[in-house]
Amino acid sequence: MFALRLVAVTFSVFVLVYCGMSLAVLCTWRRICHYGDGLPLQRLAQLLFFWRLFPLFIAILITAGFAVPSFLLLEPRAIVEPIGSAPIVLALFGTVLAALGLGNAALSWRRACSTVSSWTSAAEPVQSVASVPVLRIQRSIPPLTAAGILRSKILLSGSAEFLLNGNELRTALNHEIAHIHRRDNLKKLLLRFVPFLGMRALETAWLEASEMAADDAAICSTADALDLAAALIKLSRLKPAEAAPDLTAALVQGRAAIIHARVERLISWTGEAQPRSSSSATMILSFSIPAIGLFLITYGSLLADVHQATEWLVR
């Protein structure tokens, strides 16, 4: 009975915190995005991705750091008490939520592996100065994409190789290399683990910011920006026969309006660095050190309060 109560408390607390924080994220992410308008695109992408996973981090922290320890330390093992209906319902909901996340991630992984395997069945290695393997595929679509999570590679179609000149191809490859170095395909897989209704707009905003951030990472001069813009225009004219899998990063993907916005950014690129806050690390340390000290001092009383709350929950 003690073990069953522990499982019920664990799932109940996790579900309540995760759903509550997810609703808070849904209500605030547009303001966060507006606040990040002045940030470099890479920082904005990191901020949006962190905010999307914030409910999962907080749910794990509170469940593993407070709910489970308080139950193990303060709950009498000899007392037999019935478990209320609320924790049972929450535990079932948590199980369904976990199964959906695992199933969604597994399905996306399998679909990506199957599709990339079919694309590369007759692939040939390309001599390139890129830091990752580049394979020439027979298909015209996708023209250029970064595939793989553990062993990443860049897939280059014959059509893209024919349409792009040397500088355009170089900047386009740099764009895909930026996705690989930043583990964007792995981030997409993590997002499949944390399903929640209404999060698609936030995930789309992160995808668009990560694409523009990869554009910025691929260029270092006005000429590079114009070459990458030309590559986007040329490759966007190729009509895809099928959509690329979720766990790949194609050079040309997303809405036509976003591709147009990317081209406009590149054409108007001036090379001026976006404002950065040099004191951000100092500010984080100045707040985190006192917070950690306060947490260590009050941890025992917090466990007692959490145990009282979980006792009320399971009754």
Residue 78, pLDDT > 90, answer no
pLDDT tier at 22, thresholds 50, 70, 90: very high
The range of the structural domain enclosing residue 129 comes to 2-275+295-314
The dihedrals phi and psi of 310, each to the nearest 5 degrees, come to: -70, -30
Distances (CA, A) of 214 to 24, 86, 203: 29, 46, 16
Contacts of 149 (CB under 8 A, 6+ apart): 183, 185, 186, 189, 247
In angstroms, rounded to a whole number, what is the distance separating the alpha carbons of residues 15 and 213? Answer: 34
Within-domain flag for 283? no
Cα 315 from Cα 169, distance rounded (Å): 64
The token duo for 206 is: 């992160």
Residue keyed to tokens 């979720």: 246
Q: How much of the chain exceeds pLDDT 70, in percent?
A: 89
- Give percent of the chain above pLDDT 90: 46
Query: How many Cβ atoms are within 10 Å of 230's Cβ, its own excluded?
Result: 20
What is the length of the chain?
315
Structure confidence at residue 279 (pLDDT): 45
Q: Is the pLDDT of residue 212 over 90?
A: yes
CA 265 to chain CA centroid, nearest Å: 24
- In a domain, residue 301? The reply is yes
Q: With beta carbons less than 8 A apart as the criterion, state whether 8 and 91 touch.
A: yes
Question: What's the pLDDT tens digit per position in 246-305?
Answer: 899 988 887 888 999 999 999 998 875 444 444 455 655 566 677 677 767 887 787 887
pLDDT for the residue numbered 168: 94
**Structural domain includes residue 42:** yes
Average pLDDT of the segment spanning 47-68: 92
> Considering the domain boundaries, does residue 290 fall inside one?
no
Q: Are 56 and 18 in contact (CB under 8 A)?
A: yes
pLDDT in tens, 139-149: 777 888 999 98
- For the chain, what is the domain count? 1
Query: Does residue 288 form part of some domain?
Result: no
Kindly state whether residue 97 falls inside one of the protein's structural domains: yes
Residue 36 pLDDT level (bands cut at 50, 70, 90): confident
Say if 281 falls within a structural domain: no
Among 59-63, 163-167, 269-273, which stretch is predicted with the lowest mean pLDDT?
269-273
Strand order in the sheet with 144-147: 124-125, 134-137, 153-157, 144-147, 249-250
Asked if the structure places residue 246 within a domain, the reply is: yes
